[in-house]
Structure 1
Amino acid sequence: MDIIMPQLGETVAEGEILAWHKAEGDKVKKGDVLFEISTDKVAMEVPAMEEGELTKIIAQVGEVIAVGEPVGEMAVEGEVANPKSTEPASIIDQQVSASADVNKPATEPSSFSKTGHGPLSPAVKYLSREHALDLDEIDGTGSNGRITKRDVQAYLAQQNVGEVPAVDEEALALMSPSVRRLVTEHDVDVSQIQGSGKHGRITKEDVLDYLDNGGKVASQPVTASPPAKAEPQPVSITGEEVAFSFMRKQIARQMSSSKDNAVHVAQGMEISFDEVEAVRQQHKAEFKQKYGASLTPLAFIARAVVKALQAFPHLNGQVSGEKLVVSAPVHLGIAVDLNHKGLVVPVIKDADTMNVSGLARKIAELAKKARENRLTPDEMSGATYTLSNNGGAGTAFTTPIINHPEIAILSIDSISRKPVVVNMNGRESLGIGSVGMVVQSFDHRAVDGAYSGAFLQRVKSLLESHGWQAEL
């Protein structure tokens, strides 16, 4: 059986092999860690789903593999190993691996060759359809004699059919399993479909629209062509070259996409943390002893943000095309730095059901799991609003980039003792107070500055005057 790159969340399209824990020929027990992977969302260990022998490693350490592509081969009990297989298969149906989508049917006859050559990938079906091939004439070099994309391309080259059409493997890899099944069942040429999903991803609705139009591309409104992206400029200095890590590349891709798609506007507001600090200092030692977690200002800010989002719901959700999808529950993303090697954004689901104490414990739990690479895909997806905490670095203010397609993100900077104006019975004087700045970046397509400003004012009011003692 093939060991495939698992689907780690709906938007994850590829992963990098960080390490193999087993070598070719090693016996493997169910649950043993086979390999480690890193995606743009999470780093994790992948366990064996069956007992058997690791017969072949296809993807080497450092390789980036699309979801659904084989990374190795394993002979399970009752199955004969095929050590002569030298060709990795293309994207295969998820049910070939035990790590497949649990909602899929046990069998899908349409994805298998009727001639006994094993499951056929969408790429193989596309090429065979385009050239009316008899697959009985092609020798499969994949696992258990499966015909691979390279087998078909080699056969076509021998037949001198001319230029072999390219297969949009990236588009196929970005599809969810259900969309891939739909494409395969109806022999859809994905190159004819314009994806409307995130990063141009082809969605189920795109495929159904294509089929409803008789296999023709639905008419699209005429829009101005986006400006061509500038080519990387050659550097004019000499020095050490530091290649981007896989995580760094994914962060760069996500941040560039956000800047390209969202209309960023930033607003900042200075807030007094005197009330928060008084309560925090009173309870932090007892809280640490009782729960093993620190009672940080971030927990109070998170609570104020959640309460303010309930009053200003158009900041809590996502932008989809020309509409705003408003979420009833608040799923709060918390950006976590990984010792300057990148960052991840675990999500506190249903944060609106928690008080300060609950939020403080959940923030500590997720941050610990993030730094130990133990986050699950579910803990990395579904955010409706994000907090970015830069206060530990001592920054005065930061203008964050929206975690697109979310609507807004709030940056929290350092809280420090500063001179402040104190009003006592109408008389003003100078005093010392705990002051910090919060900055919200929002998508101007979804809301306006007045709405964002009113939200920040609500956050400020809560932090300065909420009854925090009752939440601890």
Structure 2
Amino acid sequence: MKTKDKTTTTDFKMPKMGESITEGTIINWLVAVGDEFEEGDVLVEVATDKVDNEIPAPFSGRVAEILCDTNEVVEVGTSIARLELAEVGNTDEIKKQLVISSPNTSAKANKGNKASGKSTTKKTEQKSSSSKNYSIPSNQNTFISPLVNQIARKEHISYEELARIKGTGKDGRLRKSDIYQYLEEGRPAQFAQPVAPIDEEAFRLPKIKLDKGTGEIVAMDRMRQMIADHMVYSKHTSPHVTAYVEADLTDLVNWRTANKQEFQEKHGERLTFTPLIIQAVAKAIQEFPMINVSVDGTNIIVKKEINIGMATALPSGNLIVPVVKNADQKSLLQIAKDVNQLSAKARENNLGGDDIKGSTFTISNVGTFGSLMGTPIINQPEAAILATGIIKKRAEVMERPEGDSIEIRQMMYLSLSFDHRIVDGYLGGSFLRRIADHLENFEQEQV
């Protein structure tokens, strides 16, 4: 007897794409509803921070429904699509193993309407428009009657949205009439965001109309928008102070010049200045652990791990910060391997989520661009960031036992921006000077 084909439908959820990653932004669907795919085919591209990830299909099948739109930010574990898996024979056992989430989110409601042929664009625009000035009530009554719960599920209203609806029943309970009245109004609280109370003493930017001129309009790409947000947030959060020292790197430059070829032939790794700087910074952090911190309200979190981020330019011109983990526990060779690997990934746009997570201190090598020095912006939630300038030959007065002399030396400016809430001038200046000392007196027996 011929077995009849059956179809199993399951949720396709936002996967966890790295340690400490809790959400991702959908940047591109490569399939549409009704498309068939094979196991391993890329279904969607998801961005986490500044890294783009391709999410493959877990099995072969067909796209039944897409639940989340492009540019939507989705938490890990949230259903973003529903996929059909064609199976032969009894699928009861398979269904038991599949976790089907309840359709009570606004994203599912919108997608469900699209699938049934209903036009939601106009209604969504009306809701979004009316949501902007919507005063969100705080429904403290958490009791939801079975009838209200049934209506909410049918209309795809989440519990979060229910809490925004004003109840007219006893003790503020929601009634059936409250839900239907809310639906008649076009669900004004569906996309509304809570408005924080106005602090009369808080500083607010003055509303000044500036003539920004005319010219070609170039829209920021997604990464540039994220960088802009992070930089503005950092300047508004941390009172920045920048300290400067200069270091005589003549011995270090001469040693690297004499040993870089041997280092590469022996270990198969390029020896740039970056591993040497990271090594010096890791040593200085061990001596000044209060630099390796972040702020949580009125608490200071002193990090146990020393993870050094290194600002790196992408082919697009944007910057990203891959991280050398546990730099204090690694030899110069191990650090060089990490630096070379991370730099190669950045050039190829192939960095993963874990590659840019967990930084506790950041280095920005502005000397790469020919800059003499820089005033870097702190990479939140860190407490400080180091900028290293170009290594430049200069005439310096050298104190010798036989007397002073003028010599050609390899000099570099170091600048440290630090958060003055938790790092004072003494700590910041001492830490910066110690980095310079380690660079000037580095260990030469490391080939």
TM-score range, shorter chain: 0.7 to 0.9
- Count of matched residue positions in the alignment of Structure 1 and Structure 2: 380
1:427 paired residue number: 403
1:288 partnered with 2:282: no
In the alignment, what sits opposite 2:75?
67
Q: What corresponds to 1:470 in structure 2?
A: 445
Q: What's the offset of the Cα at 1:71?
A: 4.0
- Provide the alpha-carbon RMSD of the alignment: 3.7
CA separation of 1:23 and 1:137: change in aligned 2, threshold 3 A:
closer
Measure the CA separation in 1 of the matches of 2:213 and 2:195: 44
- Matched with 1:204 is none
SS at match of 2:258: helix
Corresponding position of 2:3? none
Question: Helix, strand or coil: the match of 1:441?
Answer: strand
2:150 matched residue in structure 1: 136
Counterparts in 2 of 1:311 and 1:333: CA distance versus 1, 3 Å: same
Question: Compared with structure 1, are the counterparts of its residues 75 and 279 closer, same or farther at alpha carbon in structure 2 (3 Å cutoff)?
Answer: same
- Within 5 Å, give how 1:329-408 maps onto structure 2: 329-408=305-384
**CA displacement at 1:167 relative to structure 2:** 5.5
1:441 aligns with 2:441: no
Letter in 2 for 1:135: N
CA apart distance, 1:237: 1.0
Using the alignment, how far apart are the partners of 1:169 and 1:71 within structure 2? 22
1:40 is the counterpart of 2:49: yes
Letter in 2 for 1:41: K
Identity score, percent: 31
Q: 2:385 is matched with which residue?
A: 409
In structure 2, how many angstroms separate the alpha carbons of the residues matched to 1:344 and 1:470? 32
Contact residue 7 and residue 67 of structure 1 kept, 8 A? no
Structure 2 gaps, min length 5: 1-9, 96-102, 109-138, 166-175
TM-score, normalised to structure 2, is 0.74
Q: Select 1:53's aligned residue among 59, 62, 68.
A: 62
What displacement does 1:408 show?
A: 0.6
Cα pair 2:104 2:157 within 8 Å, conserved: no
Q: Per-residue deviation at 1:262?
A: 1.0
- Structure 2 partner of 1:205: none
Match for 1:380: what amino acid? I
Q: Which one of 15, 31, 48 corresponds to residue 40 of structure 2?
A: 31
CA distance in 1, matches of 2:199, 2:321: 34
Kindly provide the amino acid, as one letter, of the partner of residue 350 in structure 2.
R
Alpha-carbon distance between aligned partners in 1 of 2:388 and 2:267, rounded to the nearest angstrom: 24
Q: Secondary structure at the match of 1:470?
A: coil
Residue type of the alignment partner of 2:47: S
1:148-227 map, 5 Å: 159-161=180-182, 164=187, 166=189, 225-227=201-203
Show structure 1 runs of 5+ residues with no match.
Answer: 81-86, 93-125, 171-190, 195-221
Give 1:90 deviation, angstroms: 3.9
Contact 2:385–2:416 at 8 Å: present in 1 too? yes
For 1:156 and 1:30, the matched residues in 2 are separated by 48
Q: Give CA-to-partner distance per residue, 1:47-106, whole Å, 9 cap, x none.
A: 223442223445555x243335554332234589xxxxxx994479xxxxxxxxxxxxxx
Whether 2:322 is the aligned partner of 1:313: answer no
Distance (whole Å) between structure 1 residues aligned to residue 417 and residue 258 of structure 2:
33
Moved more, 8-17 or 433-442: 8-17
Q: Deviations over 1:363-411 (max 9, x none)?
A: 1111222333333322222211111122210001111111122111101
Structure 1 residues 147-170: Cα deviation after superposition (integer angstroms, max 9, x where no partner): 668998999898224765635787
- Other structure's SS at 1:310 match: helix
Structure 1 length-normalised TM: 0.70
